[in-house]
């Protein structure tokens, strides 16, 4: 029972902040989703990653191993997700990011820390880096309907991560004013994304929930299956095994909704998938935590 309450204390703030957005949307007050999305994607998330990476001590070998394995997870997620969406004749560009890019940041990282301490947090960050990069590049391409190398290289996230890795390799700390600025700007990303999600929920129609439930199940079950399978195939044990399974089984990232709203790709439907699967995840987290801790 203590495990349930501790997990709930980690997840509850997410729903409180989204609830603020929901009440704001129901009040009829204006909310510019495009501006919020641009601020989050171009400034908030890159600053959050830079601030986190430059504060953590992690072996480059472990960092690279987890990135490699989770890259394979991403490829398999995209392939399986595209097949399922085409089979049920759902829009791939709108829903594939939602069932392929899990919430490895504001939901996954606290769980990794809670279950495996500083080692778990460091390994969870490596997953967060690869998934955030993929979401801001591949996810952006699916949502916008176009992709090019030039547009990818123009993505601030790519250069911010490269810079952070240089600091890690050289074992350097950024100047105090840079670190403080990144920390403050990065802190705005999670609240903004959750508030935007809540605003969208205030406009959802009942017909969206059936698709949301099925796609939410796809995200969680496929993710869990891939996590267990790849942990076994690569012989992962202890914290590495637990972090991989936890991060694979997270619900969709809120950024998927931000992108869908920015490019008008069934934003309300994507928001439904994010929220419904997050509630599913909350309900099953005690069992998931028990599985990875006793594995």
Write the DSSP string, 131-191. HHHHIIIIIHHHHHT---HHHHHT-HHHHHHHHHHHHHHTT----HHHHHHHHHHHTTHHH
What are the residue ranges of helices labelled H in 170-266? 176-186, 189-201, 208-233, 238-248, 255-262
Res 206: pLDDT: 45
Identify the pLDDT of residue 278: 82
Low-confidence spans in the chain with pLDDT less than 50: 206
- Distance CA(275)–CA(191), nearest Å, equals 15
Please name each of the domains of the chain with its CATH number: 2-294 (1.20.1530.20)
What distance separates the 2 farthest-apart alpha carbons in the chain? 53
Separation of alpha carbons 33 and 2, rounded Å: 38
| Residue-wise pLDDT tens digits, 237-292 | 888 999 999 999 999 988 788 788 878 788 788 888 888 888 888 888 888 888 98
| Tally of CB atoms within 10 A around 88 | 12
């Amino acid at each position: 029972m203590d495990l349930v309450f501790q997990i709930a204390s980690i997840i509850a703030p997410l729903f409180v902040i989204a609830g603020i957005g929901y009440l704001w949307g129901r009040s009829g007050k204006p909310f510019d989703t495009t501006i919020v999305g641009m601020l989050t994607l171009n400034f908030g998330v890159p600053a959050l990653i830079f601030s986190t990476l430059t504060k953590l001590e992690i072996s480059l070998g472990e960092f690279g191993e987890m990135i490699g394995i989770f890259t394979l997870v991403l490829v398999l997620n995209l392939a399986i997700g595209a097949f399922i969406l085409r089979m049920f004749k759902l829009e791939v560009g709108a829903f594939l990011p939602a069932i392929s890019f899990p919430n490895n940041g504001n939901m996954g990282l606290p769980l990794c820390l809670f279950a495996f301490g500083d080692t778990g947090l460091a390994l969870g960050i490596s997953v967060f880096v690869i998934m955030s990069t993929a979401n801001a590049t591949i996810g952006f391409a699916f949502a916008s309907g176009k992709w090019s190398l030039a547009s990818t290289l123009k993505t601030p996230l790519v250069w911010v991560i490269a810079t952070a890795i240089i600091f890690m390799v050289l074992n350097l700390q950024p100047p105090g004013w840079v670190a403080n600025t990144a920390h403050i700007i990065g802190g705005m990303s999670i609240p903004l994304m959750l508030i935007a999600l809540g605003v969208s929920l205030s406009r959802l129609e009942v017909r969206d929930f059936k698709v949301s439930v099925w796609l939410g199940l796809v995200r969680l079950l496929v993710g869990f299956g891939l996590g267990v399978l790849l942990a076994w195939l690569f012989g992962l044990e202890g914290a590495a095994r637990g972090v991989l399974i936890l991060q694979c089984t997270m619900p969709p990232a809120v950024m998927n909704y931000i992108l869908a709203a920015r490019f008008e790709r069934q934003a309300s439907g994507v928001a439904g998938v994010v929220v419904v699967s997050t509630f599913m995840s909350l309900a099953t987290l005690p069992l998931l935590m028990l599985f990875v801790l006793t594995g």
